[in-house]
Structure 1
Amino acid sequence: MAYFAALLARTEDGWDVSETDLDDVETLADLADLAREAAEDEETVLVFIEQEDAWFAVVRVDGEEDPRVFVSDAAAASRSAYGELVLTEELLGRDGEDDLGDLDRLVVDLDDEEASAGASDEDEDDTDGAAAAGSDGIPAGPLGDAGLLIDFGFGAKELMDLAAEGSVPGDALTDIADALGCGEVLEAVR
Structure 2
Amino acid sequence: MYFAALLARTEDGWEASDTELDDVETLTDLADLARDAAVEDDTVVVLIEQEDAWFGVIRIDGEDDPRVYVSNAAAAARSSYGSMLTDELLGRDADDADDLDLLDLDGTEDGEPDPAEDSEATAEETPAVAAGPLGDAKLLEDIGVGERELRTLEGDALSEIADALGCSELLEAVR
- TM-score of the aligned structures, taking structure 1 as reference length: 0.73
Q: Determine if contact 1:9/1:17 at 8 Å carries over to the other structure.
A: yes
Q: Report whether the alignment pairs 1:140 with 2:125.
A: no
Cα deviation, residue 95, structure 1: 8.1
* Bigger radius of gyration: 2
Report the counterpart of residue 178 of structure 1 in structure 2.
Answer: 163
- Partner AA of 2:21 in structure 1: L
Q: Determine if contact 1:45/1:61 at 8 Å carries over to the other structure.
A: yes
Q: Determine if contact 1:28/1:88 at 8 Å carries over to the other structure.
A: no
- Partner AA of 1:4 in structure 2: F
Q: Report whether the alignment pairs 1:48 with 2:33.
A: no
Return the structure number with greater helix share: 2
Report the counterpart of residue 90 of structure 2 in structure 1.
Answer: 92
Which consecutive unaligned segments of at least 5 residues does structure 1 have?
99-134
After superposition, the CA RMSD in angstroms is: 1.8
Cα deviation, residue 88, structure 1: 2.7
Question: Alignment partner of 1:58: what SS?
Answer: strand
Question: Alignment partner of 2:6: what SS?
Answer: strand
Residue correspondences, number: 146
- Call closer, same or farther: CA 1:31–1:95 in 2, change over 3 Å: closer
Q: Which runs of 4+ in 1 moved over 6 A?
A: 95-98
Q: Determine if contact 1:32/1:61 at 8 Å carries over to the other structure.
A: yes
Report the counterpart of residue 188 of structure 1 in structure 2.
Answer: 173
- Partner AA of 1:46 in structure 2: V
Identity of aligned residues (%): 67
Q: Determine if contact 1:9/1:40 at 8 Å carries over to the other structure.
A: yes
Which consecutive unaligned segments of at least 5 residues does structure 2 have?
98-125
Distance in 2, Cα, partners of 1:155 & 1:4: 23
Distance in 1, Cα, partners of 2:157 & 2:51: 13
Distance in 2, Cα, partners of 1:45 & 1:95: 25
Q: After the TM superposition, which residues 99-178 of structure 1 pair with which residues of structure 2 at under 5 Å, given as runs? A: 136-162=127-153, 167-168=154-155, 171-178=156-163
Cα deviation, residue 84, structure 1: 2.2
- Partner AA of 2:136 in structure 1: D
1:116-153 CA distance string (max 9 Å, x none): xxxxxxxxxxxxxxxxxxx9521211000000001102
- TM-score of the aligned structures, taking structure 2 as reference length: 0.79
Q: Report whether the alignment pairs 1:36 with 2:27.
A: no
